[in-house]
C-alpha cells in the first residue's frame, strides 16, 4: 500500500515512504526487539517493517487489523511487536474514529492504551522519557477539476513537530479515484502531561470505509527518564 497510487500520482511529498513487500530482515528486527530496548535506528526499523504491507494482513488479523502468525512470530505485526517487546511501561495503539468531521482527528476509545491517557483526541503522557510516535492514514480522493493537497501533521501540545504534504489529482481528470497513504513518525523527549494529537488538511478524504483498520496512531516509551 505504501506509495501506491493509480496513474495520477502525487507531485511531491515531505517524507519518504517505504515500499515493497516484507523481507527476511523484518524477522531479525522482531527478534532484536524482543531481546533489548530500542535505539533510534531500531525504532525506525519498527516503523518501516511494522507498517509496510499491512493492508494485506487485514483479512487475517484480529480486531485491530493485525495479528500474530500461527507459530507466534510477530515480525509482520506492529501491535504484536508492541505487546511482546520490553517497553511495557507506556504505549498506545489507536484507530481513527469512523466519523471524522473536523481537522483534529479523534480516535476510537476501545483502542489499547497502557500507561498513557486518552482525552478529547489527545494522548496525554504519564511517564517522562523518549517516545516514538507513529501515525498512518489512508485517503480516498474522487478527483475534482483541480489539484488537491493532503496534509498530515503530528502535534506535541499545540506545536506542529512533523508534517507530510502530498498533491494529488493534478491532471484535472474529474471523477478519477486516487488512493493515497500518508504516514509520519517522530522521536521526541516528552514530559508528564504533554499531549500528542494529529491534524489533517482535507479531513473529508480520510478513508474509513475501504481500509478502516489502517488509520492508526501508535506511541511507545522506549527510554524512560525516571
pLDDT digits over 197-207, tens only?
999 999 999 99
Q: Flag whether pLDDT at 4 surpasses 80.
A: no
How far apart (Å, rounded) are the C-alpha atoms in residues 132 and 92? Answer: 11
Q: Flag whether pLDDT at 99 surpasses 50.
A: yes
Q: Angle 40-51/25-35 helices, nearest 10 degrees? A: 130
- Lowest model confidence (mean pLDDT) among 34-48, 71-85, 189-203: 34-48
How far apart (Å, rounded) are the C-alpha atoms in residues 217 and 220? Answer: 11
Neighbours of 35 (CB within 10 A): 9
pLDDT digits over 21-70, tens only?
333 443 444 344 344 444 444 444 444 444 433 333 322 233 333 333 44
Q: Flag whether pLDDT at 83 surpasses 80.
A: no
- Fold annotation for 25-224: Jelly Rolls (2.60.120)
Mean pLDDT of all residues in 109-136: 93
Secondary structure class of 79 (helix, strand, coil): helix
Show the cell assigned to 197: 494529537
Residue with cell 483534529: 104
DSSP structure class, residue 205: G
- Higher pLDDT: 18 or 180? It is 180
How far apart (Å, rounded) are the C-alpha atoms in residues 105 and 98? Answer: 10
How far apart (Å, rounded) are the C-alpha atoms in residues 20 and 1? Answer: 9
- Lowest model confidence (mean pLDDT) among 74-83, 145-154, 172-181: 74-83
Would you list the domain boundaries of the chain? 25-224
Could you tell me where the beta strands, DSSP code E, fall in 64-171?
A: 91-95, 112-114, 116-119, 122-125, 129-142, 148-156, 159-168
Mean pLDDT of all residues in 173-181: 83
Residue 132: what pLDDT? 93
Q: Flag whether pLDDT at 98 surpasses 80.
A: yes
Residue 157: what pLDDT? 97
How far apart (Å, rounded) are the C-alpha atoms in residues 31 and 73? Answer: 9
Residue 45: what pLDDT? 45
- Lowest model confidence (mean pLDDT) among 75-79, 137-141, 164-168, 190-194: 75-79
Show the cell assigned to 171: 491532471
Mean pLDDT of all residues in 10-30: 40
Show the cell assigned to 131: 517516545
CB-based contact 188:92 (threshold 8 Å): no
Residue 86: what pLDDT? 60
Tell which residue, 175, 158, 167, has the closest CA to residue 202: 167
Amino acid at each position: 500500500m505504501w506509495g501506491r497510487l493509480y496513474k495520477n500520482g502525487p507531485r511531491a511529498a515531505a517524507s519518504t515512504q517505504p515500499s515493497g513487500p516484507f523481507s527476511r530482515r523484518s524477522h531479525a528486527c522482531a527478534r532484536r526487539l524482543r531481546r533489548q530496548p530500542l535505539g533510534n535506528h531500531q525504532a525506525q526499523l519498527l516503523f518501516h517493517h511494522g507498517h509496510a504491507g499491512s493492508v494485506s494482513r487485514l483479512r487475517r488479523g484480529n480486531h485491530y487489523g493485525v495479528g500474530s502468525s500461527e507459530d507466534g512470530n510477530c515480525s509482520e505485526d506492529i501491535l504484536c511487536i508492541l505487546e511482546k517487546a520490553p517497553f511495557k511501561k507506556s504505549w498506545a495503539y489507536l484507530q481513527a474514529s469512523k466519523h471524522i468531521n473536523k481537522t483534529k482527528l479523534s480516535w476510537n476509545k476501545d483502542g489499547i492504551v497502557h500507561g498513557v491517557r486518552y482525552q478529547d483526541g489527545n494522548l496525554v503522557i504519564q511517564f517522562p522519557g523518549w517516545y516514538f510516535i507513529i501515525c498512518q492514514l489512508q485517503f480516498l480522493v474522487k478527483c475534482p477539476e483541480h489539484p488537491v493537497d493532503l496534509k498530515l501533521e503530528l502535534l506535541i501540545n499545540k506545536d506542529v513537530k512533523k508534517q507530510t504534504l502530498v498533491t494529488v489529482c493534478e491532471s484535472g481528470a474529474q471523477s478519477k479515484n486516487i488512493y493515497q497513504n500518508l504516514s509520519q513518525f517522530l522521536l521526541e523527549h516528552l514530559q508528564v502531561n504533554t499531549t500528542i494529537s494529529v491534524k489533517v488538511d482535507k479531513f473529508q478524504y480520510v478513508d474509513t470505509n475501504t481500509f478502516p483498520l489502517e488509520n492508526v496512531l501508535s506511541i511507545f516509551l522506549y527510554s524512560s527518564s525516571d
